[in-house]
Amino acid sequence: MDRRFPCVGAKSALSRGTLHVLVGWSIDSGWDDVRLHRELLAWADSYSADPGLFRSLAIIFAKPVPLDEEAFERAMWDRLQSLADKDAWLGVPFDERVSGDPDDPHFSLSFGGEAFFAVGLHPAASRPARRFERPVIVFNLHDQFEQLRQEGRYEKIRETIIGRDTDLAGSPNPMLSRHGESSEAAQYSGRLVGNDWKCPFHDPRAAV
């Protein structure tokens, strides 16, 4: 809601009422992962039945856990791993439009047969746009980015967000990259990482 917040896609979802917010217990606990996974499946299913732009699912974790950027990154990937394991255990197929290998430039998460891009927010984030009073994971449907590309709107929106983020932070986000150029996994937590960073995630359905 802050006028300076750079992501115009998120602002559109909020104004349209298509930003679905869930409350989780704690980002460093798997206590309610089963419930959160069930909500993710329902969200993917509703999108498959009625695709539309600017829809996001945000999980706000209620417990105020004091985490620095590295600790938040570990906790976030623990939750994502747990959710992916449940998808695999239920026999839900992986979205074949993307790769399940986090080293692959075409990597995305997959829940309920739909690919997702995750955005982490937390109080100790170095980028102002990634700061929030509680830990959060936002799930954005990958298919929406493809829709925007097909409509010729993706690059304009991307440039707008980068410009607004630069105005807010004083510099461009060095972690940004386009899908297919490098793995999006390094962008999820918001932490600045180097080329030697290894993603602590393995989808059980990914080809070995």
Write down the domain spans for the chain: 8-187
Cα pseudo-dihedral 173, 137, 157, 169, rounded to 10: -30
pTM, 2 dp: 0.94
Strand, coil or helix: 32: coil
Measured from the Cβ of residue 5, the count of other Cβ atoms closer than 10 Å reads 16
Cα pseudo-dihedral 130, 193, 195, 166, rounded to 10: 40
pLDDT digits (tens, 9 = 90+) for 25-61: 999 999 999 999 999 999 999 988 888 788 899 999 9
Return mean pLDDT, the chain: 92
DSSP 48-94: HHS--SS-EEEEEE-S-----HHHHHHHHHHHHHHHHHHHHHTTPPP
pLDDT digits (tens, 9 = 90+) for 149-199: 888 887 898 899 999 999 999 998 888 776 667 899 999 999 999 989 999
